[in-house]
Amino acid sequence: MKKVIDGLPVMVNRKRIKNMYLYVKPPDGHLEISAPVRMPDARITEFVRTRKEWILKNQEKIASRNPVREPGFDEGEIHYLWGKPHKLRIVHGRRNFVKQVGREIIMVLKDPERADTEVRRKMMNEWYRGLLKERITERLPEIEKITGLRCSSWQVKNMKSRWGTCNTVTDKIWLNLQLARKDRICLDYVILHELAHTKVRNHGREFKNLMDLYMPQWREVRKHLNRAA
Ligand SMILES: [Zn+2]
């Protein structure tokens, strides 16, 4: 549940736990609280208030480590597609859509004046989602074939703090739609990583052996994936 406490947006997760926990999370420094199921809202508000200074200090720390400037999706802005920078062009047209032409991403808008950042972000994300799905449809079966690993199904979703996840009970995997901004090898890496979880739940020796076997350079790819651009 999302709340705003003392001007700070906070994600409150109720859990079967005894104590309250506060996290300032990368890459954007957003706040998450894990609170016991029956903890009154007032206690949570108080909890945030008394720690505000600490929160702001840590948000600053994360911001300086990770300079994420929120894009406005304006003309001339640089956006990445498959690891390559593209210049965003805003064009007036009959209907809203996005396309790539050479090293430009063309965003066609029916009413550019009224299409605010949120509308544009959504269009961009849906475009990324389509491209990513196309690519996954090609690559996933290939990687499954090479490794003999198999997921039950997959889905693309916009995620804040992880590139992929695997439900180790159902073997379903989720892939972050922002992977369309990264080199294609990064997508292969995340697919392989999540497929490996269908066999090994943790990141221990057996898991690393699997990764080494099918992508010997996975450590470099992971580093590359977690770099800002
Ligand atoms: Zn993992």
- Six token digits for residue 90: 């805003």
116-174 confidence digits (pLDDT tens): 999 999 999 999 999 999 999 999 999 999 999 999 999 999 998 899 999 989 999 99
Question: In the chain, where are the structural domains located?
Answer: 2-65, 78-127, 136-225
Provide the whole-model pTM. 0.70
Which of the two residues, 27 and 157, has the higher pLDDT score? 157
CATH T-level fold of 136-225: Zincin-like (3.30.2010)
Interval between CA 174 and ligand 1 midpoint (Å)? 12
Interval between CA 18 and ligand 1 midpoint (Å)? 27
Interval between CA 183 and ligand 1 midpoint (Å)? 19
pLDDT number for residue 68: 54
